[in-house]
Amino acid sequence: MLEDNGKYIFGVVKMGERGQIVIPKEAREVYGIKAGDSLLVLGDSKGMAVLKTEIFQDKIDEMLGGN
């Protein structure tokens, strides 16, 4: 894992026959990702990003009138 000023390179992963990838252990540790967590996949014409959905939970609760 390479880290520079809060930006990381975790390495290269390969997609399996069923469309699955393995998120590297170091990435799971840095971002606190564990089995059963929900992840949001975003993309544009240049690539894609994977985010934990919990980072949006406060905003979702706020929009729905919670908290």
Please say if the pLDDT value at position 63 is more than 60: yes
- List pLDDT tens digits, range 2-58: 888 889 999 999 999 999 999 999 999 999 999 999 898 989 999 999 988 887 777
pLDDT grade, residue 66 (50/70/90)?
low
Q: For the chain, give every domain's residue range.
A: 1-36, 38-67
CA distance 12 to 43: 18
Specify the pTM.
Answer: 0.75
Residue 20, by phi and psi: left (phi above 0), alpha (psi -120 to 50) or beta? beta
What's the DSSP call for residue 50? E
Residue 67's pLDDT is 57
Residue 12's pLDDT is 95
